[in-house]
Amino acid sequence: MRVTDEVREASAVVALESTILAHGLPPGRNRKVATRLEETIRAAGAVPATIAVLDGEPRIGLTGDELDRVCSTELVKLSRRDLAPAYALRRDGATTVAATAAIAAAGGIRVFATGGLGGVHRGAADTFDVSADLDVLAETPIVVVCSGVKSILDIGATLEVLETRSIPVLGYRTATFPAFYLRESAYPAPWTVRTPAEAAAVARAHFGSVPGTAGIVLANPVPREAEMPRGLHDELLAGGLARLAERGITGHDVTPALLEHFHAASGGVSIDTNEELVVANAALAAEVAVALAA
């Protein structure tokens, strides 16, 4: 594992995944977002640690050239189960939430900013399609700052799994669990915190006084001005689900197909929303990391 000197010496660090750069944003824009995320975290007094696997080596904190490489090269997507093959075969890969959380925690990082947490997929009772993010978070002591889970997933079932895995779920300044593109879902957030200091206090108590190694979900709604109009969202979701049925798309191909439909059919609105929410999550994560360090 290679950790940059800056990350190793910092008291407040925020981990960032690389999959959103390599797979979630268009070429060119992904590199600009990478810079924006790191600048946002630095402005709040913390140090960014973008994580990826390059030449079979897990890297915590990337140089400018390495960010260029992540954003311009076709990288395989690595969940935690894929790390050993990538290491042994000396492959390059972009880390998902599950892999990023595992590597970050192993490097002593306690706060991680991402866009949306993976969850239970629609129809999981038949397909058993449940994101590895949930099981990894159940045994990884890290705070994941996200905008809930994508509305294309089964949010209610995801919250049930989080409860079963004893993972605390905090709504940031909201009593309603957010739904990625939308500020509100139909489900309540189990707990609400109002400040980064309150979130840090919960994390300190959880990691220091509660048995087990589960992480924490800090759900931060997308900024109001960047929220996708609900009417457009519902139209896109209905069209995307119909498209899946027509084409017989199932299993692991469902989420990429739905997201591609959202990006194409929304005229770029979904990408704009995605960028703004992950930047807002990075800012909040940095404030929580600084509060934890204090």
* Residues with a known catalytic role: 17, 150
Residue type, 145: V
Residue type, 294: A
Cα distance between residue 156 and residue 255, in whole Å: 17
Terminal CA-CA length for the chain: 27
Residue type, 244: L
Unique residue bearing structure tokens 């590199």:
31
List the Cα angle 14/96/227 in 5-degree steps: 75
Cα four-point dihedral sign 247, 253, 258, 264: negative
115 Rama sector, left if φ>0, alpha if ψ -120 to 50, beta otherwise: alpha
Beta-carbon neighbour count of residue 265 at 10 Å? 15
Report DSSP state, residue 212. S
Structure tokens at 115: 């866009």
Report DSSP state, residue 184. -
Report DSSP state, residue 113. E
